[in-house]
Amino acid sequence: MVMSNQIKHREQGSGAPLVLVHGFPLDGRVFDGQLAGLSSRYRVIVPDLPGFGTSQPYDVASMSMPWMAQELRSFLESINALPCVLGGLSMGGYVALSFVRAFPADVAALLLIDTRAEADNDEGKQNRNRMIEAARARGATAVVEMMFGKMLAQSTAHQQPEVAEKLRRIMSEQPVETICAAVAAMRERDDFTAILPSIRTPTLVMVGEYDTITSPEVAQKMRSGLPRSWMVTIDGAGHMTPMERPDRVNAAILKVLDELK
């Protein structure tokens, strides 16, 4: 197979670039509500990370968080989108932290959404290994089974079945090689706890009230390490706040970015 090794993206609007990086095992469709809701004020750029969504085929053999940050930076430079406001959801937050550590001058503000600064502990690493084994044996379906029940607040699953259905579809459509490479990359990611105080970039930390993967306590701890930060808890959301409560997420982003003007 010939690898195109090109990050594909969607964008909408004009003005200052606002880049939103998806989580795992997902793609840029999780930010449809932000493309629609923020593009009257910003040039909203939603990439699919290497090997995910439309960014296939892609050689993901050297996948790591710093590598994804580097690939993303090269791509953003190629579309003249630097400096930018950089947002990351969950694994996208790990990429965003790597990005701001390597390229601080390229990030005007940071949005850390349902994510964490800590690396995996031993139990977490073992769970990653189990997920890789399951994915190798049974493909994306195994990962959907392991993760889906933790992604949304209960009320979202009941009251917004279309959101649950869309999320399941996005998760099911990611290729197994990318899934395995990304799980290994998350297992090996750096701990950013000690690095947070050196991040001078203004940062909004956002978390769903019912997020059980990266809880409000985890988010609060990360926020307390960041010298220029705000924190917003999104009522009624789980781990997928941008999909579950797009209007509240968009309003919180606009409020903080307005304050920074």
Residues of this chain that interact with ligand MLT (CB under 6 A) are 23-24, 90-91, 186, 213
Residue nearest to ligand MLT (CB): 23
- Shortest Cβ 40–ligand MLT spacing (Å): 28
Nearer to ligand MLT, 34 or 90 (CB): 90
For ligand MLT, give the closer residue by CB, 183 or 196.
183
Q: Which is nearer to ligand MLT, 23 or 208 (CB)?
A: 23
Q: Which lies closer to ligand MLT via its Cβ, residue 42 or residue 192?
A: 192
* Min dist. Cβ of residue 149 to ligand MLT (A): 12
Three-state secondary structure of the chain: CCCCCCCCEEEECCCCEEEEECCCCCCHHHHHHHHHHHCCCCEEEEECCCCCCCCCCCCCCCCCHHHHHHHHHHHHHHCCCCCEEEEEECHHHHHHHHHHHHCHHHEEEEEEECCCCCCCCHHHHHHHHHHHHHHHHHCHHHHHHHHHHHHCCHHHHHHCHHHHHHHHHHHHCCCHHHHHHHHHHHHCCCCCCCCHHHCCCCEEEEEECCCCCCCHHHHHHHHHHCCCEEEEEECCCCCCHHHHCHHHHHHHHHHHHHHHC
Minimum separation from the CB atom of position 22 to ligand MLT (A): 8
Q: Please state the closest distance from residue 90 (CB atom) to ligand MLT, in A.
A: 3
- The nearer residue to ligand MLT, 82 or 146, going by C-beta atoms, is 146
Closest contact distance (angstroms) between CB of 15 and ligand MLT is 28
